[in-house]
Amino acid sequence: MKRAAIFFGTGYEEIEALTVVDLLRRAGVEAVCVAVDNADSVTGSHGITVKMDVGIEEIDFNSFDVLVCPGGMPGTKNLEACGKLTNNLRKFYEEDKLIAAICAAPSIFGHMGLLEGKKACIYPGMEAELTGAEVCYDKVVRTENVITSRGMGTAIAFSLEIIAALTDQDTADDLAEKIVYFGQ
């Protein structure tokens, strides 16, 4: 079974984080909610508190196939301030393992220099944070082992792209049909 770690920092964007968790689980991917501050629960930018599966200090990063960073403010800043997360994002990137970020969170990859020469997208108005990238305006962009997406309204497309990368396109397409998603 494929495994995904979805990282939660206080102030995360609820729909971006939970859509990924929900759709990955529906596709048979083990989606693990990880608190970057090791708390039992984390509150999002709109006051929704979610119980975490585990704290970041307790996980074995090598057991995951993808690391996912939801956006939201100040959630994105809290993810970027977590050295254990950024160190492992770099390690995954260098080992050609999958990393994914949505909304404001692709800025983390840009600040780390992980988008150099790659196509990427981000929340509108934050394009300058994609240091070294070829900025795109698609809902979701996958370049090699990096997936980026633009915001809450693209959370389903983002999740389906992660599923396609972890499993196959047919699995993602079947799930899209089951949830009546037309990709418009």
pLDDT band at 85 (very low <50, low <70, confident <90, very high): very high
* pLDDT reported for residue 117: 96
Alpha helices in 27-168 (DSSP H): 75-80, 83-94, 106-111, 155-166
Q: Which two tokens stand for residue 108?
A: 């983390």
Integer Cα distance of 19 and 14 in angstroms: 8
Instruction: State yes or no: pLDDT of 151 exceeds 80.
Output: yes
**pLDDT at residue number 184:** 57
- Contacts of residues 43-49 at CB distance under 8 Å and 24 or more positions apart, as own/partner, are 43/10, 43/11, 44/11, 44/12, 44/13, 44/14, 44/17, 44/72, 44/75, 45/11, 45/12, 45/13, 45/14, 45/72, 45/73, 45/74, 45/75, 46/14, 48/14
The Cα-based distances of 62 to 65, 74, 115, 126 in angstroms read: 8, 27, 22, 31
Give the span between the Cα atoms of 168 and 153, in whole angstroms. 23
The kind and range of the H/E element at 138 are none
User: How confident is the model at residue 160, as a pLDDT?
Assistant: 98
In order of 2, 7, 108, 168, the CA distances from 132 in angstroms are 31, 24, 13, 29
**Full set of structural domains in the chain with CATH:** 3-178 (3.40.50.880)
**Do residues 56 and 7 touch, judged by C-beta distance below 8 A?**
yes
170 Rama class: left (phi>0) / alpha (psi -120 to 50) / beta: alpha
The amino acid at residue 33 is: C
d(CA 166, CA 98): 9
Q: What is residue 182's predicted lDDT score, i.e. its pLDDT?
A: 83
pLDDT, tens only, 25-80: 999 999 999 999 999 999 999 999 999 999 999 999 999 999 999 999 999 999 99
Residue labelled with tokens 């980026």: 148
Each residue of 97-147: pLDDT tens digit? 999 999 999 999 999 999 999 999 999 999 999 999 999 999 999 999 999
pLDDT at 81: 98
